[in-house]
Each structure stands twice: as structure tokens, then as C-alpha cells.
Chain A
Amino acid sequence: MRRFALIVRMIRANQTGTVVFRKAAVTSAAVFAMTVITVKPSAADSSASIALRGIVPPRAVVAFANIAGGAAIELATAVRAGTAMIDLTTMGNSVARVKMSLIASASAQKRTLALTTADGSSIPYQVRFAGEDLQFINGEALLRQASQDGFGTLEFIAPQAATVTKNYSDHLIVVVTAK
């Protein structure tokens, strides 16, 4: 029966110790070094926590790609030729509702989209967004509802009217609301 003696000396955390391993019947001894790695105890003496809280506010931006000046656009010149197309981009970090409002429009009173002149004459027109006719309800039409950045083309269509000699205009507002 073989018997072994294992002698361990001076082994502590982060220290190098020596393990002497002797086989009783053999005169020579194998000696090797080992390092004890610091091991974090399994149970903390005490613990605490810091709770972080914060709000990223909803944010939405609307922009026209080819019209400067923000969300108010003048269509008087644009529709005279019959059709105008404006690229509309919405950006935000939340669910955004992009609406077109007739609040400032002369069409609001007539409950129909129309370009008007100062003397009261008018030309009806249509508005499409992304190829769909806009349906105005209570003076507002929903263009888009999304949580991601969006892009679409607003299309204004007026009947061809070769006799038009006056400047007809309407005033629409695009409103983007984030929540």
C-alpha cells in the first residue's frame, strides 16, 4: 500500500506557497509552487443599491424636404400648374401622430378643400399622402401614426384650369404630436 504525505505550508491569498509531495518509499521529493487566487467570499457583509430613474421625453419633429420654413406652406403658386408634391419627413422617439389641420384654412368654413381668392372665388383641390386621399374629420386628417421616423409625400391636386388668372391660396398646417 502506498502512502503519501502532503505538506502544505504558507498558502494564503495572493501569496505563493510551496507544496511538498513526498512518497514514503522514495527519497526524492517533487516540489512545485502554486498560487492561491483571491476569491471573493460568497456572501457580502453588507449590501446596498442605487436605483436610477429617469424619463426620456417624447419628441417629434416634422420637416418638409423641399420647403423651407417649417410646417406652414403656401400652395398658391404650386397648385396653379395642377399638382404639387412635397416630401414630408417626421422624426421622433415616440409614437407620433402626424395630422394635417385646417385650423388656419379658408376651407374650414366650407368643409371642403378649396383654394380661394380675396373676392371669394374658389377652386377645389385634393390632398393625398402616400398615395391615399386624406379624410378630414373635424378639420383634421391623420397622415401617419408611428413610433419610428417616417417619410411620405404630400400630393396636392388641383383641377387643370387654363382660365385661372388670380392667385388662389389656402393655408394648411401639418401638426405632429408625440406621446
Chain B
Amino acid sequence: MRRFLFLLIIVLCDAPGPAQACALSIETTSTTSFAGAAGRGYDVFDPTTYFQPLTFRVRAVEGTCPFYITAGPANSATGVGQLLGTGGTLSFAVYREANDAQVLRAGALATAAEVLTGRLKEKETASYQLTYAIPPQQIVAAGAFTGDVEIAVYEGNVGSGVLRARQIVPLSTMVAAVTELSFAQGQFDPNVGVYLLNFNTMHRGDIKGVTLHTRSNGGYRIYLRSVNGGVMRQLVPLDNSAVPYTLSVDGKTIPITDSDIQVVSFPGATSPSGNAHRVDVLIGDIAGVAAGDYADLISISIYSFR
């Protein structure tokens, strides 16, 4: 009896196992936090597309076999995934390389054009790099956004492959509160923050103005103040002469002083081109005002709702 059991064990050990030519594993090696420009995360108004690397390794744990890799947003049939946050939803996609137009899809939906192929001998490891990007100028409120990328490796050929390993890679990004203003009259340029209203020779009733553009992903308030308290003073003061002026924002007269006064309150998000606010200055009575060069500086501050 004991001899029979021993022979049975021998027979069972020699019997062929399930048909698995190789065992593959996946290991991601890159950060999965979207850095954007200079590590600031996703800037909703930045028009640039930033491609961020998505690196991983495939290892032949056992056996030797040809394989292919699929990668793309998890649970997406189109290849366009979603990063979900309290402030809304950001779309993203995975690409073979930067500036590539072809989005990649994960899993069985991937076509031959959307996969990476390779062949590894047992114990060998290969490194791969894809990219992912969040299309620019998706206007969402500030907050944290998260989503998933699925990477899968199949043994065999596309269409008949056998799934050997699958990994869900969490992606995340921070969206900052962005509130900007600009005097640029074409494309919004937050670097254009100084404007000169030069009346040259002034007369009572002269009026000049400029359009101030503002944009925000969460609403904003605008405050104004005048260095000279709402009048123009002599550059080289000979006396206390002052040129009075009337300031209006969007047609509404503002009693501007040397302290901040709120002139605009706008809730919610704007488009990338922003909102336009008209600022006009009307020269008052200058009879009796000493001759000379006059100036004032109107400071404009914009604060996001927070």
C-alpha cells in the first residue's frame, strides 16, 4: 500500500500542468502626479499641453514568450479618461509618445496600432515609457483630481492574447485657484499689468479708458485704490494743486480713495479669454489749477473667492 502511494505521488508530479507558457509582471516606476508647468499641477488657463512620462517595467517571471502591452484610461472605451475632483472633471489620455495624436486604450479594446509588443526570456525585464496629458484650458474649480490608468500585459498576439498581468495606476493632479488680470487687448496675457492713460494737455471733460480683462476658475473680486486719493498731483509739487477726475468701472462711478474699494464681484469661472471690465477716467474742472505735469497711479488688485 505504501509503495502504491509513493508511485501515485511520482505520477502526479510528472503530469503536465495548465498551459501557461510564461508568467509576466508589471511594475510602474514613474510618479503618477501630474506636474504641469514647473510642478504647479494643472493650470486651467495655460494653453500648453504638457506630456508627462508614464514609465513601467515588464518582467518575465517565468518562461519565455512574446507579449503585448495595452495602456489607457481605466474604464474608457474611447481612450479619453476622467480625473474626478470636487471642482469638476478633467479629461486625460495616454499616448505612445509626446505630441502623439493617437490615444491609447486599455485592455481588449486596444487595436494593434495601440499596443506595445515585446519578447522576454525568463527572468528578463524590459522598461517602457508612455506619456499622458491633460488637454489644456479645461476650466474647473480648484482642488485635487484623481483617476486611473490601466496597464495590462498579454501573452501572444493582439486579438488572441492571454492576459498575464494587469495593474491600475492612480493618477492625480492639483488644480490651483487661478485669478488673473491683464490689459492685453488681444490674447489674454497676465504679464501685461501696467497701462498708461496719457491725456497730454488736459481739458475739463476729457475722457480716456482701457479695458481690463480678468479670468478666474472660482470667482473674483476687484479692488481699486488711488495713490493720490482720487486726484492727479503735480510730478514736481509747487503747491497743493490737484486735477480732479471721475473714475468709472463698467459705467458705474467709483468714489476712489487711497484705500481699497471693491468695484467688481464675479462668482464662478470665466472662459480662458476672461471677462472685460471697462475703466474710464473723466477729467474734472481744472480752472485755477497750477500749470504743470500731473499724475496719479490707480492700483488694481484682484482676489479669488476662497
Q: Mark A40-55, 1 if CB is under 8 A from B, else 0.
A: 1100111111111111
Q: Cβ of B202 and Cβ of A56 under 8 Å apart?
A: yes
Q: Does A57 make an interface contact (CB < 8 A)?
A: yes
Q: Cβ of B291 and Cβ of A54 under 8 Å apart?
A: no
Residue of A nearest to B194 (CB): A49
Q: Cβ of B301 and Cβ of A55 under 8 Å apart?
A: no
A-B contact count (CB 8 A): 127
Contacts A45-B304, A48-B183, A49-B194 hold; do A58 and B297 have CB atoms under 8 A apart?
Answer: no
Q: Cβ of A50 and Cβ of B298 under 8 Å apart?
A: yes
Chain B residues near A49 (CB-CB < 8 A): 193-195, 297-300
CA distance A57 to B292 in the complex (A): 7
Q: Does A111 make an interface contact (CB < 8 A)?
A: no
Contacts A52-B197, A54-B243, A55-B201 hold; do A46 and B294 have CB atoms under 8 A apart?
Answer: no
The number of chain B residues touching the other chain, given as a range, is: 35 or more
CA distance A40 to B301 in the complex (A): 11
Count of chain A residues with Cβ under 8 Å from any Cβ of B?
23
Residue of B nearest to A55 (CB): B201
Q: Cβ of A50 and Cβ of B279 under 8 Å apart?
A: yes
Residue of A nearest to B182 (CB): A48
Residue of A nearest to B239 (CB): A147
Q: Cβ of A45 and Cβ of B220 under 8 Å apart?
A: yes
What is the interface of chain A, defined by CB distance below 8 A to chain B?
Answer: 40-41, 44-59, 92-94, 147, 178
What is the interface of chain B, defined by CB distance below 8 A to chain A?
Answer: 177-183, 190, 193-202, 206, 210, 212, 220-221, 223, 232, 238-239, 241, 243, 245, 260, 279, 281, 283, 286, 288-304, 306
